Amino acid sequence: MKTRIYFILLVVFFISSCTQETISPDDSLTAPSNLTLQQIDLESIQLNWQDNSSAEEGFRIDRKIGENEWEENYQILSENSTTFIDSELIAIDNYSYRVRAFANGEFSDFTEASIYFFYDDVSYIYPLYSGQISLSPLEPFEYQVALKDSNGNNVQRVYYVWFKFISKPEGTNINNVLYNTTDSIFVQSVDGIASVTLYAGNQTGTAAIKTYTYNSHNEEISMVKSNIIVHASSPEIIDLSISGIDSGENLGNGNWGIEVAAIVTDIQGNPVDYGTAVYFSLQDNPEWASIEVEAYVGNENANGDSIPGVAFTQLIYEGVYTNDTLLIQTDVGTCSETEEFIMPLQFPVLDISASPSNLYWIENNPSYPDSLIATLCVSLQDGQNNPIDNQQILFYCDLGVPIDMGTDNDNNPFTENTGIMPNQHGRIDKEWMFYRYECPPPVGNVPGTITGTLIVSIPGTSIEIEIPIVLIRYPGY
């Protein structure tokens, strides 16, 4: 018996010795040598070294910028590597690198080198147009500046350059994006040139624009252009929008008030004058909806905000007509626009029940079904208890499969629409099939049990509820 145990121990030791990973005496894990560093362009340093190992798995590169701490494991390279390019460098400073080989958790000594990384930094900003700038609705202006180094040459490195108005008439903007004088827009320089387009607004006046960037020491470099003359614009384009889910005003008796915004701009996209009259109407004159007819550009919305070029009014509709469509017409001077909108759901409330919520496999009968069905009753109401029809509902469960009831005509069994079936306003009765094999078999006399979580949600919103479905499999099944 002792001889047999001794023999087994020898076999285990032999197998362990054969499978243990070690570095062969004929191989080596030797420090790389001849590390050289070269700045190859405005953003990159190239490292080259000599591979002196024959058993390495790869090389580890550490990096240090100036007097900062070492960035260990900055780069891991594969075996036999002898070069690496460190790119997208920003700081003008000393860059130090050290390279070592590694294998099986062991590291060689490292080789180390340093280089001073440098490029011509931006020193000042120079406008490419020094005369008076004139803006009108049909004549936007491409405004360009040059980023110069200390020798007066354009810097070739890419910089972020910010532009902001420090004074302007209403609606005057940069790149057709409307900002206050406290906001800015940025672009990237190309070959030392940064460019934006200035557009006239809805009032005549003068403007001044500040341009600034930051050098490698994070110092602001800036300039101001002040002699910009702006001429007003006239209405040409109308865009309509309405508020969405959870944003209406409860007016009682099942009615909701929502905000309609008319965005009125000139042909260049600039907002028109404050006080411009905007008229709203509903086509087909539905009995279940009405709208405030007259509004003015620059009036206040429900939050008390006044936005250049925008007129706000209120649309009132009965909540039971949620998901029905309305045609809203807007008239401003000679401009007219009609758009179709779906009445949004307001403060939705989902409810769900399952019948049965527990499914049992209890009969030891070959003819007993392998699958059982739970019927899910889902109801949807708005915040005033109006039943909501024709709202798509999404179903999901980690067990079983849905049965397509065909209420949404998209052949997707995971979605159904409320209120499609007769006498089921705001409701869906959805069937979900569960299989016996999904439930673990019983252990002895203890039934197998598993719980599936069925999730019901409204697509495009954060509204969802859950209900558990319990599968129980008794002995004999």
Q: Taking 50 as the threshold, does the pLDDT of residue 14 lie above it?
A: no
Cα–Cα–Cα angle for 338, 341, 344, nearest 5°?
A: 155
pLDDT at residue 138, rounded to an integer: 63
The confidence band for 179, taking pLDDT boundaries of 50, 70 and 90, is low
**What's the mean pLDDT when you consider all of the chain?**
88
Torsion of CA 299, 300, 306, 309, to 10 degrees: -40
In the chain, where the domains are located: 33-117, 124-230, 237-342, 349-473
Please give the CATH number for the structural domain made up of 33-117. 2.60.40.10
Q: Taking 70 as the threshold, does the pLDDT of residue 26 lie above it?
A: no
Place of tokens 């007003």: 232
Of the candidate CATH numbers 3.90.700.10, 2.60.40.10, 3.40.50.720, 2.30.30.830, the domain formed by 237-342 belongs to 2.60.40.10
Cα–Cα–Cα angle for 413, 415, 421, nearest 5°?
A: 95
Kindly report, residue by residue over 224-245, the tens digit of the pLDDT: 998 898 876 677 788 999 988 8
Give the residue with greater pLDDT, 157 vs 451. 451
Kindly report, residue by residue over 421-442, the tens digit of the pLDDT: 888 899 999 999 999 999 999 9
Q: Taking 60 as the threshold, does the pLDDT of residue 444 lie above it?
A: yes
Give the residue with greater pLDDT, 23 vs 454. 454
Q: Taking 60 as the threshold, does the pLDDT of residue 13 lie above it?
A: no
Scanning 139-263, the segments in alpha helix (DSSP H) are none
* 349-473: CATH architecture: Sandwich (2.60)
What fold, for 124-230? Immunoglobulin-like (2.60.40)
Do domains 33-117 and 349-473 share one topology? The answer is yes
Residue 232 · residue 273 · CB < 8 Å = yes
Q: Taking 80 as the threshold, does the pLDDT of residue 129 lie above it?
A: yes
Give the residue with greater pLDDT, 9 vs 280. 280
CA atoms within 13 A on the CB side of 317: 27
Kindly report, residue by residue over 358-408, the tens digit of the pLDDT: 999 987 666 778 899 999 999 999 999 999 999 999 999 999 999 998 888
CA gap 390, 325 in Å, rounded: 12
